[in-house]
Chains A and B, each alone.
Chain A
Amino acid sequence: MRCSVRRSADPPATAPRFDPATFVARLRSAGLVVPITSTIAYVDALSVVGIDRPDSVYWAGRATLVRRPEDAGTYDECFAEFFLGVDPDERTDDDTETLDIGLDDEADAADDQGPSDDGADPDVSLRWSRTEVLRHRDLARCTPDELREAWSLLAKLRIGGSKRPARRLVPSRRRTDSLDLRRTARAAVRTGAEPVRRFHRDTSERTRRLVLIVDVSGSMEPYARALLRFANAALVGRGRVEVFTIGTRLTRVTRELASHDPDAALRRAAVAVADLSGGTRLGDALGEFNERWGARGMARGADVVILSDGWDRGDPAVLGAAMERLHRVAHRVVWVNPLKASPGYEPLAQGMAAALPFVDRFVEGHSIASLEFLADLVAEPATGAIPPTGRRTGPTVGSAR
């Protein structure tokens, strides 16, 4: 199918030759994943709706080539450029944000003992093996060589997940109240229609979903990389893991990180995350997570792990409200704060203070050892510091809204 489509009012100087395959190639180069089957569907669709009306051509492509609402913007741009002759350079791109790296660090430094502060190295005993030392070393102070070794330790981590009862009944050896009629009936044939052997079914267990939300603002950079690798290890090891990054905005990086090659995964994630090492708007980003993903189902009954130092440029009340909502939906909220390892740390950063009432476990995350602890933590059932009865009716922040 080859024909030309022109804008009715003001045809561009060179009317573009309309070739669906070229358009698809343009979409691909803009980053859309378009399998060949979709291209075929697109051509089929065009043959149904025709190519006389730009609207039909547009929607035929939307229905066959776009499969995620996030891709609609890219599609629109390509469509405008390809069919309507809009030069992409002429458009004002108000999506671009300037990155300001950790602007608030100085202002907030009084609140917290930051890792960048000059301080003595943690106590290191010479009797420890090299790996043992590395496991406990603050990731912000590792040399590139040590980091490489640390990453290989992380890649070896097996991250399970806590279990919860599932609806599905599975065959069981125990005598339960529930009869497995399928197997009983089959066996009965063999014993002259008499159900001599009775089979039973029992409840099963499922792994809870694990949601990792990683703060990638400037102050968190060394730790964020470690947790993204942690996330990668979790994704490779098992399903039901979702990964998001937060900074000035929320980005879902589950797909990008799901690769057996951690370095490639991290590179892809870095491309997807536009605000890497920018500032933080924790409250807004968590609110967005709740609205777009969490409250709809992703966080429901899940273990949610947030990695952040709690330095928030936004209003702490917004963060408090977002955390309260998240806490009500999730099974358990774990907050990982690398600064917690610093001697004499107090959660004084305003954001951290607002979030803490809605956190079930507050742990460190500054070293490989602490991340190993985190892996154990998410694998065990939620008990411990806060009794299950108390967590649903956690304290309310008066000025939440």
Chain B
Amino acid sequence: MLAVMSDPSVSAVDLRAAGDVDEIRVAMERDGYLPDEGLATAVHLALQLRRPLLLEGEAGVGKTEVARSLARLSGGELIRLQCYEGIDVAQAVYEWDYSRQLLHLRATETAATVGATGDLDVDSLEDELYTERFLVRRPLLRAVTTSTGPPPVLLIDEVDRADDEFEAFLLETLADYAVTVPELGTFTASVPPIVVLTSNRTRDVHDALKRRCLYHWIDHPGFEREVAIVRRRAASVDESLARQVAAMTERFRELGLYKPPGVAEAIDWAVALSTLGTDRLDFDAARATLGTVLKYREDQERVLDLGLGTMVGDAMQRAAVG
């Protein structure tokens, strides 16, 4: 079993000490994330080989949640870098605190005027400005300079949204878990952070970056797993309702909708139904809460056209059989 780390206030575990895949799976399950064999293996390997883990999959299959779960389990800080088009070093790695630098310059100047010398040593002043005191640490730098406690979990979310050029920075950082600030030198992580990258695949992540990472494609879960996930994430939902919701969600995914519902939607839906006091799915309840699971008007119309009532009927049978 995994050893509980020395800090008694949190029940953190040293994930990298896991002996085999099953320990990771059990630990994540205890935390409320139910990984399948493939994901658990990929996570275990990423931890053991100290490589970043690149997760791809449809929206709402729980890619980001993997990182959150790992952070909760290990007790490490979750450092999240949300990527977007045009993200650059200043937002991802580091920036200088220019306002403070200017203030410092003015203060030094005033001191010099008031003092006896009245003279400014320009070179040493410039060196002074580029010290850690004026350094603003953005997520990547923070991830490699965290030296106390368990290693942080660095989540680089939706990396496909960033530009290709940005991947070059990532590559450098992820290759050696090091960040170079020209004025200060190179910061290298004493313990490599746990790194999870996610991508929705709006464009292909560059091969060089993929080669650095372990790769896993997260699929929609199977029926029984989805039931289990809904039960875990929404405690108020009882078994039969969870089964019905999972059966309906599974059916929706077969219809070729604009946005097939993910696990996140299934959970939302189950919670919505249960909040309204529904303990058994029927046409009226499904129709009233359809907006929580299908987020496009066209998808809702499609489902109503195809016969929501019949689908509910089929789902009840599916749920009963299992």
Contact = CB atoms under 8 A, between A and B. Distances in A.
Interface of A: 33, 35, 37-38, 41, 44-45, 48-50, 55-56, 59-60, 62-64, 66-69, 72, 166-168, 181-182, 184-185, 188-190, 192-195, 206, 239, 242, 254-255, 287, 290-291, 293, 295-298, 300, 321, 325, 401
Nearest to B53: A63
Interface in B245-270: 256, 258-259
Contact of B215 (A48, A63, A167, A185): A63
A255 B204 CA distance: 10
A59 B108 contact: no
Contacts of B280: none
B301 A45 contact: no
B41 A60 contact: yes
B37 interface: yes
Contacts of B129: 185, 189
B45 A63 contact: yes
Given A190-B122, A255-B204, 10 more contacts: A66-B215, A67-B210, A185-B96, A185-B102, A193-B108, A194-B106, A254-B204, A295-B259, A297-B160, A297-B161
A290 to B, nearest CB: 8
A401 B256 contact: no
Contacts of A37: 211
Given A41-B49, A166-B85, A287-B256, A64 B126 contact: no
A79 B99 CA distance: 59
A239 B215 contact: no
Interface residues of B, number: 55
A167 B85 contact: yes
A218 B74 CA distance: 58
12 contacts: A35-B211, A41-B51, A48-B45, A48-B48, A55-B37, A63-B46, A69-B217, A72-B217, A167-B86, A193-B120, A293-B201, A298-B202
B215 A291 contact: no
A185 B98 CA distance: 6
B20 A49 contact: yes
Contacts of B44: 48-49
B60 to A, nearest CB: 12
B214 interface: yes
Contacts of A168: 86, 88
B173 interface: no
A22 to B, nearest CB: 21
* 9 tightest Cβ-Cβ pairs between the two chains A and B: A297-B202, A181-B98, A193-B105, A59-B41, A193-B109, A168-B86, A167-B86, A63-B42, A63-B214
Given A49-B41, A168-B86, A325 B258 contact: yes
B167 interface: no
Contacts of B65: none
A293 B164 CA distance: 18
B203 A298 contact: yes
Contacts of A184: 98, 102
Nearest to A64: B214
A198 to B, nearest CB: 11
Given A69-B56, A185-B129, A298-B202, A45 B160 contact: no
Contact of B99 (A59, A181, A300): A181
Contact of A193 (B46, B51, B125, B160): B125
A166 B86 contact: yes
Contacts of B106: 193-194
A150 to B, nearest CB: 31
B29 interface: no
A64 B256 contact: no
Main secondary structure of the interface of A (DSSP, over half): helix
A195 B161 CA distance: 37
A184 B126 CA distance: 13
Interface string B177-218: 000000000000000000000001111100100110011110
A166 to B, nearest CB: 6
Contact of B45 (A33, A35, A45, A66): A45
B38 interface: yes
Contact of A192 (B20, B21, B109): B109
A166 B87 CA distance: 11
A33 B88 CA distance: 30
Contacts of A296: 59, 200-202
Contacts of B211: 35, 37-38, 67
A66 B109 CA distance: 60
B102 A188 contact: yes
Nearest to A38: B211
Interface string B77-111: 00000001110100000001011011001101100
B287 interface: no
Nearest to A242: B203
B133 interface: no
Given A166-B86, A168-B88, A189 B200 contact: no
B45 A188 contact: no
A58 to B, nearest CB: 8
B238 interface: no
Given A167-B86, A297-B161, A49 B45 contact: yes
Contacts of B101: 185
Interface in B113-128: 120, 122, 125-126
B124 to A, nearest CB: 11
B298 interface: yes
B252 to A, nearest CB: 14
Given A56-B21, A64-B214, A72-B217, A189 B109 contact: no
B302 interface: yes
Interface string B42-66: 1011101101001010010000000
A66 to B, nearest CB: 6
Contacts of B284: none
B21 A49 contact: yes
A67 B126 contact: no
Contacts of A290: 258
A171 B202 CA distance: 30
Contacts of B204: 68, 254-255
Given A63-B42, A67-B210, A287-B256, A192 B120 contact: yes
Given A188-B105, A401-B302, A59 B201 contact: no
